[in-house]
């Protein structure tokens, strides 16, 4: 079970490294390099998803599962990004926004399908933090991010998510964010919840990843950075596992 493994590792003081693959950007020409880099870095989880509608999710999931022995978890941006072939799904509620479709609407529509698949459902409270630019997540979700200088709002939102029964809290700066979620917000949220904390968005350097780890993130998600430099995967994995 993915969630039980996450809890076991956190309980022993370990942090987890997750790589986010956007199917729209999945480089078929460099597929062998991607697989080889994944084998070398051996992340704890592979997340698959993006903000745009596409029909490549199942293909990407199949390729990853056929070549790697790493749990593949859907990180869907919309109802088109579902496949029964994944090991699990982050069943995301965008609790920082007020778009009813992303709070419950899409969940109702997809629940019967997901129940039939038997895949592990990971209920996740998703909190978008202003990363200094308008990101794809903000535009596509039609929601405003929480201001980066308002940690108290992020904390209250995370607490509410846990009280509503979310199993994970995900602090997101947005794909390609100029600024990652600040250490102040990560630390404040971690201090006030008892469930695992995921942090992603804008983590494209060793120093930024280090700050997120030191501030209390349990799971670090990296996407855009490795797309530009595959060698970062191994560096990030080694760093994260020193904590």
Ramachandran angles phi, psi of 233, nearest 5°: -55, -50
202 assigned ligand-binding residue: yes
Handedness of CA 103, 104, 105, 110 (dihedral sign): positive
| Cβ proximity of 233 and 18 under 8 Å | no
The answer to whether 175 is annotated as binding is yes
Residue 172 annotated as binding? Answer: yes
Beta bridge partners of 120: 88
170 among annotated binding-site residues: yes
Closest CA to 61 of 120, 51, 71: 71
- Tell me: is residue 49 an annotated ligand-binding position: no
* End-to-end alpha carbon distance in the chain: 23
201 is in an annotated binding site: yes
Q: Annotation-wise, does 176 bind a ligand?
A: yes
Query: Binding site: what residues are annotated?
Result: 22, 51, 170-176, 201-202, 223-224
Query: Binding site for sn-glycerol 1-phosphate: what residues are annotated?
Result: 170-176, 201-202, 223-224
Query: Binding site for Mg(2+): what residues are annotated?
Result: 22, 51
């Amino acid at each position: 079970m993915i969630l039980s493994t996450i809890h076991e590792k956190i309980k022993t003081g370990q942090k987890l490294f997750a790589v986010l693959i956007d199917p729209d950007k999945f480089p078929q020409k460099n597929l062998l390099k991607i697989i080889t880099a994944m084998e070398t870095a051996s992340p704890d989880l592979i997340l698959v998803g993006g903000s745009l509608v596409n029909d490549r999710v199942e293909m990407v999931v199949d390729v990853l599962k056929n070549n790697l022995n790493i749990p593949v978890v859907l990180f869907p941006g919309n109802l088109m990004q579902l496949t029964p072939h994944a090991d699990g799904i982050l069943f995301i509620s965008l609790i920082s926004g007020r778009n009813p479709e992303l709070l419950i609407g899409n969940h109702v529509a997809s629940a019967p399908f997901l129940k039939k698949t038997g895949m592990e459902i990971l209920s996740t409270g998703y909190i978008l933090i202003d990363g200094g630019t308008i990101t794809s997540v903000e535009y596509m979700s039609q929601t405003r991010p929480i201001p980066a200088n308002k940690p108290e709002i992020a904390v209250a939102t995370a607490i509410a998510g846990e009280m509503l029964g979310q199993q994970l809290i995900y602090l997101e700066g947005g794909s390609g964010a100029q600024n990652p979620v600040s250490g102040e917000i990560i630390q404040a949220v971690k201090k006030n919840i008892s469930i695992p904390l995921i942090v992603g968005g804008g983590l494209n350097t060793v120093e930024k990843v280090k700050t997120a780890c030191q501030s209390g993130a349990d799971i670090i998600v990296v996407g855009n950075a490795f797309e530009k430099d595959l060698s970062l995967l191994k560096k990030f994995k080694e760093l994260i596992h020193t904590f």
